[in-house]
Structures are given as C-alpha cells and as structure tokens.
Amino acid sequence: MNSKKILITGGAGFIGSHVVRLLVTSYPDYEIYNIDALTYAGNLENLIDVEPHSNYHFLKADITDGTAIDQLFQRYKFDSVIHLAAESHVDRSIIDPLSFAKTNVLGTLNLLESFKKHSEVKKGLFYHISTDEVYGSLGATGLFTEHTSYDPNSPYSASKASSDHFVRAYGATYGLPFVISNCSNNYGSFQFPEKLIPLCINNIINSKSLPVYGDGNYTRDWLYVEDHATAIATVFHKGKNGETYNIGGHNEWKNIDLIKLLCSKMDARLGRAAGESEKLITFVKDRPGHDVRYAIDASKIERELGWKPSVTFEEGLSKTVDWYLKNQDWMEKVISGEYQHYYKEQYSSD
Ligand code: NAD
Ligand code: DAU
C-alpha cells in the first residue's frame, strides 16, 4: 500500500491530530488532506506544529454534506481514505442519538459513495477507524477478538457498528478495498475534557468534584494515543484487504482505581498532600446502558503486522498529566464555550 494523496477525516480531533502528525512527518512523500467540520471536538490548535509542513492541507468540510464531500473527491481524487471523523462521546449519544446516526452512519456512507465514484479504488484503501464498543460488554473474564459478535449498547456504539457494516458491505458488494480497526479507550494529549481522564485532570486542578458513574467498578482497557497512531499507520500500510484488526493495550483498569492513581499523580505534581485529590471523588448516577468491561485481544495485529504498544501506562499517564498541566491555556479555551452548557446538563445532579 503506497498511495500518495491521502484523505484523513476528523484530523483536528484527539486521535486524528496524532495520526495526521505521524503521517505528515514520517511520510513526506504523502500529501495529507485533513477534512474536518471543526465541531466542538475539532480544534486546529491541535495541529499548529503540523501546519508549516508543505505536504499537509486542511479543508473544512462536513461529512454529512454529501454534495460538498463529492466535490472534494472529484477535485482531489484521493488515493486512500483514513476515516476518523465521528461524534465520539457516549454520554452525548444518549442525549442526542440522531446526530450520531447522521455523522457516523450517513457521513461514512457519503465518504464511501464519493470514494467509489471518483477514486481509483482498486489501487487505494478505505480505512475505517472504529471502536471496541461495537462488541458490547464483557463479564468478569474474556477478551474481545475479531470474531466476537457485534452487540452494541449505546447509540454511539450502535452508530459505529452500523458504519462498520456499511464499510464491509461496500467491500462485498462493490469490491471496495477496505480495512477496519477496533480500538480500546485512548488517552493522551489533546483529548477533549468530556472524556474521563482529561475531565478528572481538569477538575482536580480546579478542586471540583470527580464524578464517578455508579460504583466505579466498570473496567476499560487503556491505550496511549501515540501507540494507537502507530497502530493505524501499521494497519494502513500492512493490513490485508477486507480484514479487521483489534487494537488494545493489555491494560485494564477499574475506573475507581484509575481515578485514584490519577489523584495521586496530580497531588505529587501540584504539591498537594497525599490523599487530597481523592477527597474530590463523588459517586454520581450511572450512565444508562453502561458497558461493564472492555478488554481487547490484540494478538492478531501483533502477530500478523508486528505492532505492539510501546508506552507503559505509568509513563503514558505521567506524560498526559504533564501535558495538561503545561497546556492549561489549551484547556481554558476548549472549556470556555459549549462545554459549560454540556457539563451543566450532564452533571446537573452532581
Ligand atoms: P474526537 O471527538 O476527539 O474528534 C472527532 C473529530 O471529528 C473532530 O475533529 C470533529 O470536528 C470531527 N467531526 C465530527 N463530526 C464531523 C463531521 N460531520 N464532518 C467532519 N468532521 C467531523 O474523537 P476521537 O476520540 O479522536 O475519535 C476519533 C475516531 O476514533 C472516532 O471515529 C472514534 O469512534 C474512534 N475511536 C475513538 C476512541 C477513543 O478512545 N477516543 C477509541 C476507539 C475508536
Ligand atoms: O472503548 C473505546 C471508546 O472509549 C471510544 O470508542 C469512545 O469514543 C471513547 O469516548 C471511549 O468511550 P468510554 O465511554 O469508555 O469513555 P469515557 O471516557 O466517556 O468513560 C470511561 C469510563 O469512565 C466509562 O466506564 C464511563 C466512566 N465515566 C466517564 C465520565 C465522563 C465516569 O465514571 N465519569 C465520567 O464523568
């Protein structure tokens, strides 16, 4: 796989900005086009260091606008697509499921249609970035493999499952070359503070309560975002047409234990007494349909493509905490607008 003109959707978001940075800097022969609608989650400040590179191009467009997307494909004839643009937050999908169907399902369909129509698809690749949430919820044991049946529980995961199915359907029906990867929870720099880790970091800095859903015993499998970006580059270059790859960090944490670890790191960095931040932990009403446990069997990508995570959780979480402490102006900007309204609505009983 050696296409030159590569479209990345959602490149101004959390994971997208890391993927754009990696491909622009490591593959100077590629022309990278980032299409992003710049929703509340998209932020060009995430890419300030990438902008001066002559092989990087930003195009503001909404993937739900089929006409605009079609015109861009007609004009640029992208060789391959790495599709990350999405509504990505589970709690928002519970408040507004239709937006998730629109962006994640119809937006993906618009891209598939335009790619099929305008690109030399046989030489390229449609790479759909998906989530382990499509597999539903695990009990106390077991791991999600590429053969686990889809069983999504939230409007977000249902919309991602649907988009995965559409990508596979375009492969089977029209011979469109594709790969899909399903990854576990990411953490790292530039993550919007609606997600658990940056939300807690911001609240600890401001001595605000740390909202733990339910009993806090829900489990997630955390992966450093730069490891996800290298996994995406690996799948893009070495993945086999029509295949799915699960990506994860072999790194399960109960939410409550993770928050306590974060509290202790923050106390040390902020010069607070040990145990100070833990006092902020507040158990709040549970997320409806809350998946109990996610855990990924990543042996296929490790065995077949030679990828494995390189950053330990200890190291990754420390880097993340340091990044947020150094970039409090970034945080202030992203929480200054719509976030206030969302936070009030989501945590009103907090
Ligand atoms: P994010 O919410 O941080 O970023 C999403 C980006 O998509 C933003 O830049 C936003 O402006 C853009 N976008 C949203 N709607 C758009 C539209 N209609 N048209 C064009 N652009 C639009 O999301 P993220 O956490 O970086 O996730 C990126 C992708 O990875 C998503 O597809 C998500 O499902 C998937 N994923 C995320 C995680 C995770 O832990 N965050 C894990 C596995 C998979
Ligand atoms: O597994 C991959 C998925 O991980 C991605 O597909 C999603 O885009 C991404 O948002 C993430 O989904 P989660 O719902 O697992 O992430 P979130 O950070 O929202 O929540 C992590 C866990 O923490 C989850 O069990 C819910 C809990 N939680 C979350 C928030 C925001 C709380 O207890 N309190 C909170 O305030």
Nearest to residue 126, comparing CAs of 136, 113, 137?
113
- The verdict on residue 112 lying in a domain is yes
Asked whether residue 97 is assigned to any structural domain, the reply reads: yes
| pLDDT score recorded for residue 313 | 97
Measured from the alpha carbon of residue 63, the closest ligand is 1
The predicted structure's pLDDT at residue 277: 98
Give residue 119's pLDDT.
77
Instruction: Give a yes or no: residue 101 inside a domain.
Output: yes
The whole-angstrom distance between residue 75's C-alpha and the CA centroid of its chain comes to 28
Provide mean pLDDT across the span 45-61: 97
Residue 333 belongs to some domain of the structure: no
In this structure, the residue with its CA closest to atom 21 of ligand 2 is 196
Q: Residue 225 domain-assigned?
A: yes
Regarding beta strands 219-224 and 252-254, do their DSSP bridges make them parallel or antiparallel, or are they unpaired?
antiparallel
Dist. CA 150 → ligand 2 center (Å): 19
Report yes or no on 176 lying in a domain.
yes
Q: How many CB atoms lie within 10 A of CB 153?
A: 18
d(CA 6, CA 125): 10
Positive or negative: CA dihedral 60, 156, 296, 256: positive
Domain that holds residue 136: 5-190+221-252+293-311
Q: Does residue 74 lie in a domain region?
A: yes
Count of domains observed in the chain: 1
Band (2; pLDDT cuts 50, 70, 90): very low
Ligand 1 close to Cβ of residue 12 (< 6 A): yes
- pLDDT given for residue 350 in this prediction: 52
**For residues 88-96, average pLDDT:** 98
pLDDT (tens digit per residue) in 124-135: 999 999 999 999
CATH number for the domain harbouring residue 127: 3.40.50.720
Q: How confident is the model at residue 120 (pLDDT cuts 50, 70, 90)?
A: confident
Q: In angstroms, how far is CA 338 from the centroid of its own chain?
A: 20
User: Is residue 177, in this structure, part of any structural domain at all?
Assistant: yes
Return the pLDDT at 349.
Answer: 64
What is the distance in A from the centroid of ligand 1 to the CA of 278?
Answer: 30
Residue closest by Cα to atom 44 of ligand 1:
131
pLDDT of 262 over the 80 cut: yes
